[in-house]
Structure 1
């Protein structure tokens, strides 16, 4: 059966999808007004998109992510169309730049974490509790981490030496034995960042059970084996050693010696800190989170972070101002913000501002018009579901028939066929 054809959309959403992840990618085209898939293209190149647009004149608005290929394809195939940069991807690019800033200023995050650990934890009843200290790192683990960091820094220095000598990214990756993404990430960071915590820092299989464990401990049950046995029926699948190590930290918070019950003395109440320790990524999302969604502990963390260094405070202010103008759609604030970011002391934010300036018209439209690539992402989720249903037989021709040629009848689909203008008129 041939793939059905539909009228050329006025507002077109463009994004990529993976036919085979990390190997083969295509392009999905969505009619944003009717919320319908239009076509699946075999590649995600500028020429492929431009050719489709030339064959289907009439597109007036094109929503896309920050891809240069789609930007160039839209300019070639539909030069009169208005390109709209997706707001989510704008904030995602900002988050990447801000993470680089916090990676460079890791000492500021460590100072905030150290301050928070020393503060008492407020309880719902108004009393204060002693915070549980962080787990200690064994000397051998510290030595191994220092060796790994020194090895990574040597590779980083070699990458920059080869880059200054004129080597391409692919050649550098082959020489040092790392992937292209790693090399590109190193080249986006002009100075070697401080060693970071592991990606699962602060996470533990014991975390969901700490509230119960501390409640039992504060109630007088101070035997690690008994606590371990009580946690098992509640779903805990970790080891006894993990519980014993945590109990040792609780004893440390109360000033108890190891394996001493301390029944004859009044012990302070112990509680976990209200917020997890800051990492570059956690600090980024703390800054970008809406103010109404921050807890009191997170607001205090942010205040402490601002007070560490003037450069960090500047980056936080710039990030929050840009987030506000995007969410509130304030195009008049874009030019003043770009001017501030261009003269910033942070190279990561300067590069981010340069990327916005190079894509200025699409960014300006993104913070002005209501269109975004959100509906396109929803269709891509449906496309992934179809691929899984087809058990590896999702060639592009068959996938197009199931995705583009899906039945469109019924009241729900008829409601989707109405344009925003028609729906607004009917409601009025």
Structure 2
């Protein structure tokens, strides 16, 4: 057993105090060493925490499985960091991270309807987590993205295949939309293919309706004509 003088000599050589030595010995993972200025610093796991929280709320608490899920999504950190994050959640069940609420239907709809390139990394990860246990929502997302590509890239010739794919899935709301499109299929294909549209006319109609509502009960057609025609 080392004497007091020898312990102090070792501490001076290593430039460590006995408190530092105890801290290193008691640490189970590197994250346990983060104290003071290290707390609150950004981590490579931060961008993936919303995804992990969503999967936690869905009932998946296996740290190894979740680490395997986020590695293909771009995570380059260690499994130990993921395990430490979930250990904190287990030890603190009342923490905000452990009780994070799932995204609202309006927010999920916004993620689905937006172009994937416009989503930031956190939104992209959370959108991947939402349909994990819902095949219908996953199929809906795929149909929306295909239709958006037809609309923006003028691929009207793909509409019949899209309608057939929609009918094969159990999505009643999309079945109603597909039935309405099918009743006027030729016109819809032309609208998704040709460069011409009635957008300018519809814009003028909308402007006239706005002026009409502004003047409701205040003036007649003479003043309405003066406001519409000069513009």
Please classify the TM superposition score into its range, dividing by the shorter chain length. 0.5 to 0.7
The Cα of 1:394 is off from its aligned counterpart by 4.6
Which ranges in structure 1 are unaligned for 5 or more consecutive residues?
A: 1-122, 134-251, 255-269, 408-428
- Structure 1 CA distance for aligned equivalents of residues 110 and 95 of structure 2: 30
For 1:350 and 1:389, the matched residues in 2 are separated by 39
**How much has 1:353 moved relative to structure 2?**
0.5
Map of 1:160-239 to 2, 5 A cutoff?
Answer: none
Q: Deviations over 1:199-226 (max 9, x none)?
A: xxxxxxxxxxxxxxxxxxxxxxxxxxxx
CA contact (8 A) 1:342 1:354 kept: no
Query: Do 1:311 and 1:346's aligned partners in 2 also have CA atoms closer than 8 Å?
Result: yes
Between the aligned partners of 1:378 and 1:358, the Cα distance in structure 2 is: 26
Deviations 1:43-66 (A, max 9, x none): xxxxxxxxxxxxxxxxxxxxxxxx
Matched, 1:126 2:50: no
Describe how 1:83-98 pairs up with structure 2 within 5 A. Answer: none
Partner of 1:308: 133
Q: Counterpart in 1 of 2:107?
A: 282
Deviations 1:315-374 (A, max 9, x none): 111111111111111012111001111222111111110110012122111101223343
Question: Deviations along 1:228-264, whole A, 9 cap, x unmatched?
Answer: xxxxxxxxxxxxxxxxxxxxxxxx638xxxxxxxxxx
- Does 1:319 find its partner at 2:144? yes
**C-alpha spacing 1:370/1:125, structure 2 compared with 1 (3 Å):** same
Distance change >3 Å, CA 400–CA 362, structure 1 → 2: farther
Does the 8 Å contact 2:167/2:175 carry over to 1? yes
Distance 1:379 1:319 in 2: 29
Q: Which has the higher contact order (CA 8 A, sep 6+)?
A: 1
Q: Where do 5+ consecutive residues of structure 2 fail to align?
A: 1-39, 54-93
**Normalised TM-score (structure 2):** 0.52
Secondary structure, aligned partner of 1:278: coil
Cα distance change of structure 1 residues 279 and 390 upon mapping to structure 2, 3 Å threshold: same
Contact 1:286 1:298 in 2 (8 A): yes
Instruction: Give how far 1:399 is off.
Output: 2.0
2:230 corresponds to which residue?
406
Give the number of aligned pairs.
146
Alpha-carbon shift at residue 278 of structure 1 (Å): 2.4
Q: Distance in 1 between matches of 2:172 and 2:119?
A: 28
Counterpart check, 1:291 vs 2:133: no
Q: Secondary structure at the match of 1:363?
A: helix
Q: 2:31 aligns to what?
A: none
1:220 counterpart residue number: none
- Partners of 1:309 and 1:388 lie apart in 2 by 45
More helix by share: 2
Q: Which residue of 1 aligns with 2:200?
A: 375
SS in 2 for 1:307: helix
Q: CA deviation at 1:400?
A: 3.7
Q: CA, structure 1 residues 383+343, in 2 after alignment: closer, same or farther (shift >3 Å)? A: same
**Native 8 Å contact 1:330 1:367 kept in 2:** yes
Higher strand share: 1
> Counterparts of 1:361 and 1:315 in 2: how far apart (Å)?
24
Q: Does 1:333 align with 2:175?
A: no
Instruction: Name the Cα RMSD after superposition.
Output: 3.3
Matched, 1:345 2:181: no
Structure 2 CA distance for partners of 1:385 and 1:373, relative to 1, 3 Å: same
Q: Distance in 2 between matches of 1:362 and 1:396?
A: 35
Counterpart in the other structure of 1:366:
191
Whole-angstrom CA distance in 2 between matches of 1:387 and 1:330: 38
Measured in 2, the distance between the counterparts of 1:290 and 1:296 equals: 13
